[in-house]
Amino acid sequence: MPDIFLLSSALCARAAVTQADFTGVGNIFVLNSSDWRTATPDSTVGCLDDNGWFINYEDKKECGTFSRLDNYPYTLSSKSGNCTFTNQHTPANTDSHYGQSDHAWSCTSSYTADVYDELYTIDGFPYTFLCFGDVACFYDGKKVPSVGSTGSLWQFRWGSQQMGITPGHIQLQLLWSKISDSSKRIDEESIPGPRVELKDGMQVPLQGQQIRN
Ligand SMILES: *[C@@H]1O[C@H](CO)[C@@H](O)[C@H](O)[C@H]1NC(C)=O
Ligand SMILES: *[C@@H]1O[C@H](CO)[C@@H](O)[C@H](O)[C@H]1NC(C)=O
């Protein structure tokens, strides 16, 4: 049997992601990745804790437990509260050309999430990667935090003045790892997905929109 057949059947064995995969309760792992096509769970460099901070765990129990609303606005929360990039009390990405006024993701009590806080996945992904906004599937971190300390997770921004990740920072992806389904019985198929759907071999970068200035 030719090797090529083994390779393609191995690839086919992994069912493509559907919207139903990003539901319920789960952990969010942080991957060191600048290309969603080659990222795998082996690229994991940490996770997000209950406050939404980027941590480098020794034990998975340190990772936050997030639940996704199964109705509008489909946002994430942890025991610390609703999660958002809009909390002005978190560190800003001051090293970034385009992200200087971006604040780190965080989950805080008393914050009411809206649909602009939604993370989502894309049908056809090989793993349940999480994207934000206008098909932006990458994130920015200063470095992998040392064990016991926390780091910030920012949105990835790019444009002609800074084509890639912020110099000295690392480009990241988020991976949903479902622990359980929602306790409520819901029609998970009814969660709306993004307008993008990936087909075999698509080369779309999914880096979000270029910022023009
Ligand atoms: C992240 O990935 C890049 C590219 O593969 C690699 O050069 C770098 O050492 C990695 N960094 C960490 C912290 O894993
Ligand atoms: C979290 O956001 C959801 C969705 O907007 C809202 O229903 C809920 O009341 C919020 N929780 C708090 C503590 O504000």
pLDDT on residue 188: 56
pTM of the model: 0.91
Ligand nearest to the CA of 169: 1
Q: Is the CB of 32 under 6 A from ligand 1?
A: yes
The beta strand positions in 112-213, using DSSP E, are 119-120, 129-132, 139-141, 150-151, 154-155, 170-180
Q: Is the CB of 78 under 6 A from ligand 2?
A: no
- Band (183; pLDDT cuts 50, 70, 90): low
pLDDT (tens digit per residue) in 62-96: 999 999 999 999 999 999 999 999 999 999 999 99
Torsion, CA 166, CA 89, CA 63, CA 75, rounded to 10 = -90
Q: Is the CB of 112 under 6 A from ligand 2?
A: yes
- Band (186; pLDDT cuts 50, 70, 90): low
pLDDT on residue 189: 60
> Where does residue 133 rank: exposed (0-12), middle (13-18), buried (19+ CB within 10 A)?
middle
Residue recorded with tokens 């009390």: 89
pLDDT value at 12 more than 80: no
Strand 54-55 and strand 66-68: the pairing is: unpaired
Percent of the chain with pLDDT over 70: 90
Contact 48, 153 (CB under 8 A): yes
Q: Is the CB of 142 under 6 A from ligand 1?
A: no
Question: In sequence order, which residues have a C-beta less than 8 Å from that of residue 137 and are 6 or more positions away?
Answer: 36, 122, 129, 130, 131, 173, 206, 207, 208
pLDDT on residue 177: 98
pLDDT (tens digit per residue) in 102-156: 999 999 999 999 999 999 999 999 999 999 999 999 999 999 999 999 999 999 9
pLDDT on residue 9: 41
- Band (3; pLDDT cuts 50, 70, 90): very low
CA–CA separation, 12 vs 6, rounded Å? 10
**CATH classification of 16-182 is 2.80.10, yes or no?**
yes
Residue nearest to atom 11 of ligand 1 (CA): 32
Q: Is the CB of 116 under 6 A from ligand 2?
A: no
Q: For residue 131, how far is its CA from the centre of ligand 1 (angstroms)?
A: 21
